[in-house]
């Protein structure tokens, strides 16, 4: 049903809903609350705390007065619960104020201000006392209020029958609510227990649809590979290396080669902590592909990392006759055209670049392998676009240095087979980490200068690029660089690196730092991924409380890449328990997986991924961190369903197939259930 035909909506309000992407009544009831106002235990007025947003129960004892300040109309009412008083203030809302009846009890909700003797609440939400429970809060746009949306959803639910997408056997087996009851209860829960049951049902269905969709992507509809490869000796490759690969690296290479020899495309992730040697595995796979007459694409999230991979792959492969090319944003249009033509003509065996590789203008003559580095920044859809550069399905190898707890990995890497590099290269010495406050600044500076005087290099990482009113007390990379070079580090060759610099400037700074012409590099988190300078042995992270735990671990991975003891110093004046717990974890272990587990425990539900793009379809209800406990059940059930009906063609799975198609279509890649 078009939403404009729903009673109480009409054409004008329908236009407002369209701004939220809602055009039908069915889509409206799937606009799930983003949060709730909890009226289940309203506070006494005497217990209200200024500065807090709270719910309380009261009677409007008297309406004090109306006044006009410029264009602002102010209305006030005195509220009481018989034990305390509070003044409610309404701005420019005469209709709302007039609807507040005297001597009638309401539930109020708003931000408390004033002091215990003169409490005040501004523009409070109020409901009849019989509405006690959880009041939904929805995503809104100008012109739509919570009350409007709530009323429209209630009307929609009275005329719609919610389709049951889960087989009856699954609903009964896992003691789930029906779809109809769950959708109604998620909007209008009578209690927290009812809300939790409704949410469990919707989360279960959403995560099952996601897992089934990823499993079908992984199987690729069992599409035959266009790059079935034959056994080729890697003795020449191994013999050219200046070091001995670890057992974990050899096992990962073996996994890749066995996959590339199969009739179906490889879809594998190489997961390893920072510095574990994933690039060697990728280079070996590219060498194997070249020996079989196939080309390789390597996609990275940043230009800096693309440039570094170009050098690293070149060092591994070019002495063996494998031609490596770089498609960089720093190239001129004519230079890019020349690189693309060489790739098309088969004159480049391994082409490295950023997301520009996905563009239609980039075509390989005989693509057999697509490698994606830092895969969580791209996700399943970008991997698919890259593999489509081949005439028929090519092999896909993803790499990630971002440790993720196993429960989350079941979903985030759900379309991939996984090889873990669980050991460090021989001679790698764990980085020593210390947390200090700014009173140690001069000692830390002296420590850095001591190592520079011994011929080594150092990083200083700042969270911000330029001064900002909100964070005026924080160190800024630009200002800090100027302060350092004009003071404590005067006379020491120092570089500055941050995200908004022109690419050519970034490349020049990194080149000078790698070549030891710069002794100190002041940088933002642009160095978080892929910067490899073995001679850099000290890292100072300013305002370390501003970084997430996993990000701190990634940054620390930029030192300790040589055979010399390296150090990471976390400087912060923060006294919060959260900061202290992060610093304790960083100082006690260099194990990325322990760090990831601690990070998940500390950040709590909903915040594990932060701003990282994990490349999955958007979830309406489920949260991959909050709902990790459900993933074990989902993993078992989805495997059972796929074994029985890999393409969800049985009548009992028709609803699930529809949910999978809808979910992945919204993620920009439909999964064809007819494959």
Contacts 24+ apart (CB under 8 A), 115-121: 115/50, 116/50, 118/87, 119/45, 119/48, 119/50, 119/84, 119/85, 119/86, 119/87, 120/86, 120/87, 120/88, 120/89, 121/79, 121/86, 121/87, 121/88, 121/89
β 494-497/520-523 pair status: parallel
Looking at domain 432-589, its CATH architecture is 3-Layer(aba) Sandwich (3.40)
The yes-or-no answer to whether 41-132 and 432-589 have a common fold is no
Residue 387: the pLDDT is 58
Residue 610: the pLDDT is 43
E strands, 552-631, in order: 567-571
d(CA 400, CA 298): 13
Domain ranges of the chain: 3-34+141-188, 41-132, 189-222+604-675, 227-421, 432-589
Token pair, residue 46, equals 């005497």
Residue 474: the pLDDT is 43
Residue 455: the pLDDT is 95
On whether the CB atoms of residues 314 and 283 are closer than 8 A, the answer is no
CA R_g for the chain: 29
> b/e per residue, 580-605, with b = 16+ CB within 10 A?
eebbebbeeebebbebbbbbbebbee
Residues of the chain with pLDDT under 50: 221, 466-467, 469-474, 605-613, 667-675
Alpha helices, H only, 454-576: 477-485, 503-514, 549-556
- Domain 227-421 - what CATH class? alpha beta
**pLDDT, tens digit, 9 for 90 and up, residues 245-266:** 999 999 999 999 999 998 888 8
Residue 352: the pLDDT is 93
Closest CA to 59 of 75, 82, 27: 82
Burial class, 570, CB count within 10 angstroms (exposed 0-12 / middle 13-18 / buried 19+): buried
Secondary structure (3-state) at 352:
strand
222: which DSSP letter?
G
Burial class, 358, CB count within 10 angstroms (exposed 0-12 / middle 13-18 / buried 19+): middle
**41-132: CATH superfamily:** Nucleic acid-binding proteins (2.40.50.140)
Token pair, residue 552, equals 């701190």
């Amino acid at each position: 049903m078009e939403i404009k035909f729903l009673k109480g909506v009409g054409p004008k309000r329908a236009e407002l809903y369209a701004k939220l992407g809602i055009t039908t009544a069915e889509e409206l009831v799937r606009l799930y609350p983003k949060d709730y106002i909890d009226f289940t235990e309203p506070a006494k007025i005497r217990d209200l705390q200024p500065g807090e947003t709270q719910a309380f129960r009261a009677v409007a004892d008297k309406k004090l007065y109306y006044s006009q300040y410029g264009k602002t109309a102010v209305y006030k009412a005195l509220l009481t619960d018989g034990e305390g008083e509070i003044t409610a203030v309404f701005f420019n809302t005469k209709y709302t104020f007039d609807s507040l009846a005297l001597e009638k009890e309401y539930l109020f909700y708003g931000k408390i201000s004033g002091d215990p003797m003169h409490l005040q609440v501004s523009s409070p939400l109020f409901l009849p006392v019989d509405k006690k429970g959880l009041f939904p809060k929805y995503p809104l746009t100008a012109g739509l209020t919570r009350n409007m949306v709530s009323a429209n959803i209630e009307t929609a639910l009275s005329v719609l029958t919610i389709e049951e997408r889960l087989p009856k056997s699954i609903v009964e087996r896992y003691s789930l609510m029906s779809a109809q009851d769950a959708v109604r209860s998620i909007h209008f829960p009578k209690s927290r227990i009812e809300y939790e049951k409704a949410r469990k049902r919707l989360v279960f269905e959403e995560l099952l649809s996601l897992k089934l969709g990823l499993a079908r992507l992984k199987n690729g509809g069992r599409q035959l590979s266009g790059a079935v490869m034959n056994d080729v000796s890697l003795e020449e490759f191994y013999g050219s290396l200046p070091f001995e690969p670890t057992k974990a690296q050899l096992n990962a290479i073996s996994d890749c080669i066995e996959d590339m020899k199969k009739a179906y495309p490889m879809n594998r992730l190489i997961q390893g902590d920072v510095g574990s040697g994933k690039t060697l595995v990728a280079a070996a796979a590219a060498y194997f592909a070249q020996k079989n007459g196939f080309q390789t694409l390597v996609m990275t999230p940043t230009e800096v990392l693309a440039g570094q991979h170009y050098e690293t792959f070149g060092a591994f492969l070019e002495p063996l006759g494998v031609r490596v090319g770089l498609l960089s944003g720093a190239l001129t249009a004519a230079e890019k055209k020349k690189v693309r033509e060489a790739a098309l003509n088969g004159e480049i065996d391994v082409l490295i670049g950023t997301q520009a590789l996905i563009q239609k203008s980039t075509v390989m003559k005989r693509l057999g392998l697509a490698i994606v580095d830092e895969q969580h920044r791209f996700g399943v859809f970008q991997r698919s676009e890259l593999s489509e550069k081949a005439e028929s399905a090519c092999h896909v190898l993803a790499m990630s240095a971002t440790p993720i707890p196993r429960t989350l990995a079941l979903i985030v890497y759900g379309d991939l087979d996984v090889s873990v590099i669980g050991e460090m290269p021989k001679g790698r010495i764990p980085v020593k980490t210390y947390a200090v406050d700014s009173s140690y600044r001069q000692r830390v500076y002296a420590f850095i200068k001591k190592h520079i005087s011994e011929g080594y290099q150092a990083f200083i990482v700042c969270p911000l690029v330029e001064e900002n009113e909100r964070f005026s007390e924080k160190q800024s990379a630009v200002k800090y660089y100027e302060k350092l070079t004009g003071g404590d580090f005067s006379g020491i060759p120092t570089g500055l690196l941050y995200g908004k610099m022109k690419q050519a400037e970034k490349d020049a700074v990194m080149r000078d730092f790698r070549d030891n012409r710069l002794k100190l590099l002041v940088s933002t988190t642009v160095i978080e991924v892929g910067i490899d300078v073995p001679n850099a042995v000290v890292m100072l992270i300013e305002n370390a409380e501003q970084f997430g735990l996993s990000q701190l671990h990634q940054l620390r991975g930029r030192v300790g890449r040589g055979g010399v003891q390296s150090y990471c110093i976390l400087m912060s004046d923060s006294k919060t328990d959260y900061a202290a717990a992060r610093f304790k974890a960083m100082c006690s272990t260099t194990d990325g997986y322990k760090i990831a587990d601690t990070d998940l425990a500390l950040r709590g539900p909903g915040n594990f991924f932060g701003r990282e793009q994990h490349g999955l379809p958007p979830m309406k209800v489920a949260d991959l961190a909050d709902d990790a406990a459900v993933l074990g059940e989902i993993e078992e059930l989805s495997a059972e369903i796929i074994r029985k009906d890999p393409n969800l063609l049985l009548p009992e799975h028709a609803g699930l197939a529809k949910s999978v198609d809808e979910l992945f279509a919204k993620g920009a890649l439909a999964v064809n259930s007819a494959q």
